[in-house]
């Protein structure tokens, strides 16, 4: 899968996208991450990529000409057979989620445009942007950190990057949070690993893990239960914890 990141500050990506799992995935040819400096597409001698906003106000706005030129240059280098999506990182976008990460992983190529300052010229958004995403209801200094989050979350869903079994059992898979994990030693500072995990009984382990997923989700993110994939046993267990179908219907 190809990730093209268009940014005013390419140096910010050194490290986060060249370590650990992403590094190994790139070395294996499973993903490719390319950085594109928007300033190189500015035509004046100072490579100006921002200007004061029409109508006045604080801050600066990313100029239309260099940004549009950068997007079009990167888009122009794509294979016409590739499924490509151009995404703007902006606090005004829809909030990124695991479901959206799965949707994006179905594309062959993502062009991630990092907004900065007060944002980009609206005409570029109207003409060249396919989708707008935010990583949360807060404001960052720019879209670079958000782009890193998107790359990390989507890349790990590319076949071969992460073990498929791990992806199927992690938080937000099936709409619930992940169960707790333990490893050696069996006793640490007086705290013991739950006996069921030492029993060797796979069926009981699976049952315990599912119940822990439900218990943790109810305690921490009950809103997720409204759209979670739940069966009759799940409902019965949640009801034993004080959850009611009325609460479920209210959230749904």
Question: Is residue 167 in some structural domain?
Answer: no
Question: Is residue 169 in some structural domain?
Answer: no
Pairwise CA distance, residues 125 & 208, whole Å: 48
What is the DSSP track for 179-211? PP---S-SEETTEEPPGGGGS--HHHHHHHHHH
Nearest to 238 by CA among 172, 252, 246: 246
CATH number at residue 91: 3.40.1280.10
pTM to 2 decimals? 0.87
CATH number at residue 200: 1.10.1270.20
Structure tokens at 244: 């009611």
Pairwise CA distance, residues 87 & 64, whole Å: 16
Strand bridging mode 187-188 / 191-192 = antiparallel
Average pLDDT over residues 231-235: 95
Say yes or no: 107 and 222 in one domain. Answer: no
Give the tens place of pLDDT for each residue, 176-230: 999 999 999 999 999 999 999 999 999 999 999 999 999 999 999 999 998 899 9
Average pLDDT over residues 37-50: 96
Residue 27's Cβ-side half-sphere holds a number of Cα atoms within 13 Å equal to 7
Give the tens place of pLDDT for each residue, 57-114: 999 999 999 999 999 999 987 677 889 999 999 999 999 999 999 999 999 999 999 9
Give the tens place of pLDDT for each residue, 6-32: 999 999 998 998 899 999 999 999 999
Phi, psi (deg, nearest 5) at residue 85:
-135, 135
Say yes or no: 132 and 196 in one domain. Answer: no
Report whether pLDDT(157) > 80: yes
**Model confidence at 252, in pLDDT bands (50, 70, 90)?**
low
Say yes or no: 156 and 217 in one domain. Answer: no
Print the domain residue range for 194.
178-251
Question: 162, 188, 203 — which closes off a domain?
Answer: 162
Pairwise CA distance, residues 104 & 156, whole Å: 11
Strand bridging mode 61-62 / 50-51 = antiparallel
Find residue 32's DSSP bridge partners: 2
Report whether pLDDT(250) > 80: no
């Amino acid at each position: 899968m190809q990730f093209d990141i268009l940014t005013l500050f390419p140096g910010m990506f050194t490290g986060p996208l060249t370590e650990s799992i992403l590094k190994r995935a790139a070395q294996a040819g499973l993903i490719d991450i390319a950085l594109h400096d928007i300033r190189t597409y500015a035509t004046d001698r100072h490579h100006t990529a921002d200007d004061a906003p029409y109508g006045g106000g604080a801050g600066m706005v990313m100029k239309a000409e260099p940004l549009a030129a950068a997007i079009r240059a990167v888009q122009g280098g794509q294979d016409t057979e590739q499924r490509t999506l151009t995404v703007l990182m902006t606090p005004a976008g829809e909030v990124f989620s695991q479901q959206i990460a799965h949707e994006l992983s179905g594309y062959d190529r993502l062009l991630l445009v990092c907004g900065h300052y007060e944002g980009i010229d609206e005409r570029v958004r109207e003409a060249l942007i396919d989708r707008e995403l935010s990583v949360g209801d807060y404001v960052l200094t720019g879209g670079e950190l958000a782009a890193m989050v998107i790359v990390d979350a989507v890349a790990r869903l590319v076949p071969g990057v992460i073990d498929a079994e791990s992806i199927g059992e992690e938080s937000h898979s099936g709409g619930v949070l992940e169960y707790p994990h333990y490893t050696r030693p069996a006793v640490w500072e007086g705290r013991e690993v739950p006996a069921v995990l030492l029993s060797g009984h796979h069926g009981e382990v699976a049952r315990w893990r599912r119940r822990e997923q439900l218990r943790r989700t109810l305690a921490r993110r009950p809103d997720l239960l409204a759209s979670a994939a739940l069966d009759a046993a799940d409902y019965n267990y949640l009801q034993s914890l004080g959850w009611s179908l009325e609460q479920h219907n209210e959230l749904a």
